[in-house]
């Protein structure tokens, strides 16, 4: 175990943050960056004296990725390692016992990071799983968009998911904290804000407000140009939410988690959505001009050939444009982990590619059929005079320009629709 690092005279030790998983983790990493005073952040892993692993534990595979990263780092670095994030709750104790990391701390402890990184003795401090986040982030290093955590935890109990047990029950961050943070970020030049959380659509259920009310208040902050949402549930698209669908500041893309389209599989997964209602909602949103994405799991235990055939039939009927699909990966201590029959991994991957191909074609047709005026935030440079960003439909576009466009908003009306993304020359 690495327990010491060399500190050059009059220089702060350097910290590298390795972030796995979701946007909530991205936010938490940035909160830790903002809380540092005695350390200097580096974006170069090789020069780090300290590495903080902000981990994901959504599947057994996610835990494996963290272990693999630690193994790779051990071979080439003398950095002192610390573990936080969801994996701290599931694998932190064993990794500490093995002497592979110096300290483990939970999400509630992140603002104490200066003190934690300075501890001489190994430690294990998970803190309070049901804490309310009080952190304020006023910058995002290397980002054009700002991720805003508005809630934590989840009250759903999907049979395949461990997250409620490592993130706690759903709870909302105080509205004034959220608005203060966005105001600061807008003053720092950010115009696009992505609202995120463990179950972002549950915002306000514990504080007598709602997602729609919050978004209206955010839209009134000077400098806010576009608001995006993380993944939400179908039942969270309420009548009140539908009233804001025509607002110009709302992204024209919604990511609505289904996880499957077979009613039988949805019951096995202990999901709350019902396919026929999902289809009705998606058609309504499509008629309003929205691009629509979803999550989908292939190869969950019990996914028979007939269930899969039904799922494919139903997928073809949905006006989808985007997809976040993945093969089922067993997560210990969940109901799904002991369900039978298990599905062969190779078959799960075949099904994954099948559904990906279907939605890829739907996305291509969406971009090809509609002559859309695109409002694009350029995020990065990808080559000589080539820049890349996302439009309001969350479609990627490559733009060729002699001017430096990074961080700029541009309007694009003439572009080529290509497989995978759009292309324009300015």
Scanning 262-371, the segments in alpha helix (DSSP H) are 263-268, 275-287, 305-317, 345-369
Residue corresponding to tokens 């466009």: 405
Question: Six-digit token pair at 71?
Answer: 């193994």
The beta-strand segments (E) located in 42-169 are 50-55, 80-85, 103-105, 123-125, 146-149, 151-152
> Looking at the predicted structure, is the pLDDT value of residue 143 above 80?
no
Per-residue pLDDT tens digits for 338-377: 999 999 999 999 999 999 999 999 999 999 987 778 999 9
pLDDT of residue 405: 92
Per-residue pLDDT tens digits for 118-131: 998 999 988 887 77
Which one is predicted more confidently, 317 or 2? 317
Most confident by average pLDDT, 140-149, 241-250, 375-384 = 241-250
Per-residue pLDDT tens digits for 308-345: 999 999 999 999 999 999 899 888 889 999 999 999 99
The model's confidence at residue 5, banded by pLDDT at 50, 70 and 90, is very low
Range 192-211 average pLDDT: 92
422 forms beta bridges with 397, 417
pLDDT of residue 140: 62
Question: Six-digit token pair at 391?
Answer: 């439009």
pLDDT of residue 44: 87
Q: Contact at 8 Å (CB) between 291 and 322? A: yes
How far apart are alpha carbons 196 and 231 in whole angstroms? 8
How far apart are alpha carbons 425 and 412 in whole angstroms? 9
The model's confidence at residue 108, banded by pLDDT at 50, 70 and 90, is confident
67-71, 198-202, 352-356: the lowest-pLDDT one: 67-71
How far apart are alpha carbons 274 and 330 in whole angstroms? 24
Range 192-212 average pLDDT: 92
Q: Contact at 8 Å (CB) between 178 and 150? A: yes
Measured from the Cβ of residue 98, the count of other Cβ atoms closer than 10 Å reads 11
Q: Contact at 8 Å (CB) between 228 and 192? A: yes
- The contacts of residue 220 (CB under 8 Å, 6+ apart) are none
Per-residue pLDDT tens digits for 17-42: 998 877 778 888 888 888 888 999 99
Which among 140, 135, 149 has a CA at the least distance from the CA of 189?
140
High-pLDDT (> 70) share of the chain, % = 94
Helices (H) and strands (E) in the chain, counts: 13, 20
DSSP 3-state assignment of 324?
Answer: strand
The model's confidence at residue 183, banded by pLDDT at 50, 70 and 90, is very high
pLDDT of residue 2: 46
Per-residue pLDDT tens digits for 269-302: 999 999 999 999 999 999 999 999 999 999 999 9
């Amino acid at each position: 175990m690495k327990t010491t690092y060399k500190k050059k005279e009059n220089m702060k030790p350097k910290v590298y943050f390795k972030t796995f998983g979701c946007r909530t983790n991205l936010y938490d990493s940035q909160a830790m960056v903002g809380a540092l005073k005695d350390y200097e952040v580096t974006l170069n892993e090789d020069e780090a004296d300290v590495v903080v692993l902000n981990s994901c534990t959504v599947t057994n595979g996610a835990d494996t990725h963290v272990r693999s990263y630690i193994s790779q780092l051990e071979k080439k670095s003398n950095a002192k390692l610390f573990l936080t994030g969801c994996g701290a709750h599931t694998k932190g104790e064993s990794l500490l016992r093995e002497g592979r990391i110096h300290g483990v701390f939970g999400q509630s402890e992140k603002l104490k990071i200066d003190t934690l990184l300075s501890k001489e003795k190994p430690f294990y401090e998970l803190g309070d799983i049901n804490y309310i986040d009080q952190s304020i982030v006023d910058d995002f290093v290397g980002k054009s968009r700002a991720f805003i955590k508005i809630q934590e935890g989840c009250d759903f109990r999907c049979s395949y998911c461990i997250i409620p047990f490592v993130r706690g029950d759903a709870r909302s961050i105080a509205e004034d904290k959220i608005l203060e943070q966005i105001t600061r970020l807008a003053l720092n030049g950010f115009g696009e804000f992505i609202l995120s959380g463990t179950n972002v659509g549950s915002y306000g259920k514990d504080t007598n407000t709602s997602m729609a009310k919050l978004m209206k208040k955010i839209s009134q902050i000077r400098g806010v140009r576009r608001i995006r949402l993380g993944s939400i549930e179908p039942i969270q698209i309420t009548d009140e939410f539908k009233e804001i669908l025509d607002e110009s500041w709302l992204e024209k893309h919604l990511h609505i988690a289904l996880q499957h389209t077979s009613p039988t599989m949805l019951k096995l997964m202990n999901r709350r959505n019902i396919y026929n209602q999902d289809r009705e909602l998606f058609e309504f949103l499509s008629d309003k001009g929205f691009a629509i994405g979803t999550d989908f799991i292939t190869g969950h235990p019990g996914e028979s050939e007939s269930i899969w055939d039904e799922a494919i039939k139903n997928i073809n009927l949905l006006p989808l444009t985007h997809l976040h699909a993945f093969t089922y990966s067993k997560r210990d201590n969940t109901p799904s982990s002991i369900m039978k029959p298990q599905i062969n991994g190779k078959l799960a991957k075949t099904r994954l590619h099948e559904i990906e191909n279907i939605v890829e074609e739907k996305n291509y047709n969406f971009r090809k059929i509609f002559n859309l005026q695109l409002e694009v935030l350029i995020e990065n440079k990808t080559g000589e005079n080539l820049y890349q960003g996302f439009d309001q439909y969350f479609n990627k576009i490559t733009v060729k320009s002699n001017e430096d466009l990074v961080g700029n908003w541009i309007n694009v009306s003439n572009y080529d629709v290509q497989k995978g993304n759009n292309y324009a020359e300015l």
